[in-house]
C-alpha cells in the first residue's frame, strides 16, 4: 500500500528517526536538542499524520530510545504521542516501547510520565538498549 519512509540520521543534536510504513514501525533514538524543535519535528509529525490517515488498519510499533532530550523536544514527543493515542482510540493497534538505560532514573521517570497519557495505545517501559534495526 504505502511506501512512505522517513529516514533521518542522528546528528550531535538530533535523534535518528525512521518510519517504515510498509513494516508498520517507527523508531526514534539518540539525543534531541535541536535549535528549532518545531522545524525538526514538524515534518515528522506531518508524515506520521499522513501515514496514520492512509493505513488505518495497519498496526504500528513505535520504539523510543532517547538518551537525552530538552523541553522543546519533550513537547514534540508529547505531540507525537497524542497522534498515536488518537489513532489507537480510533481503532488502530498502536504499541509504544520506551527503552531506557536501567541506570538512568530520569529517563525511566520520563517514560512513566508519558505512559500516564496513554489509555488506548499500549505503552511499555523497557529497561535496556534498543537493538539496532538494519
Q: Which residue has the cell 538494519?
A: 134
Q: Hey, CA dihedral for 100, 125, 90, 119, is it positive or negative? A: negative
- Whether 70 contacts 40, CB under 8 Å: no
Angle at 42 between CA 58 and CA 118, to 5 degrees: 50
- Whether 108 contacts 126, CB under 8 Å: no
d(CA 51, CA 59): 11
Instruction: Say what the alpha-carbon torsion angle 90, 92, 93, 97 is, to the nearest 10 degrees.
Output: -80
pTM: 0.92
Query: Residue 5: pLDDT above 90?
Result: no
Q: Tell me the pLDDT tens digit for each residue of 78-122.
A: 999 999 999 999 999 999 999 999 999 999 999 999 999 999 999
For 129, the enclosing helix (H) or strand (E) is: none
Helix, strand or coil, per DSSP, at residue 6: strand
Q: Tell me the pLDDT tens digit for each residue of 6-64.
A: 999 999 999 999 999 899 999 999 999 999 999 999 999 999 999 998 877 889 999 99
Closest CA to 83 of 56, 107, 113: 56
Amino acid at each position: 500500500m504505502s511506501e512512505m519512509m522517513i529516514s533521518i540520521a542522528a546528528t550531535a543534536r538530533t535523534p535518528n528517526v525512521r518510519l517504515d510504513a510498509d513494516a508498520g514501525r517507527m523508531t526514534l533514538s539518540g539525543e534531541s536538542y535541536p535549535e528549532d524543535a518545531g522545524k525538526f519535528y514538524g515534518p515528522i509529525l506531518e508524515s506520521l499524520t499522513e501515514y496514520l490517515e492512509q493505513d488505518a488498519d495497519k498496526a504500528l510499533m513505535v520504539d523510543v530510545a532517547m538518551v537525552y532530550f530538552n523541553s522543546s523536544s519533550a513537547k514534540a514527543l508529547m505531540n507525537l504521542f497524542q497522534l498515536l493515542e488518537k489513532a489507537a482510540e480510533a481503532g488502530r493497534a498502536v504499541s509504544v516501547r520506551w527503552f531506557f538505560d536501567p541506570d538512568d532514573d530520569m529517563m525511566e521517570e520520563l517514560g512513566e510520565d508519558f505512559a500516564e497519557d496513554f489509555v488506548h495505545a499500549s505503552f511499555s517501559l523497557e529497561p535496556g538498549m534498543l537493538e539496532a534495526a538494519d
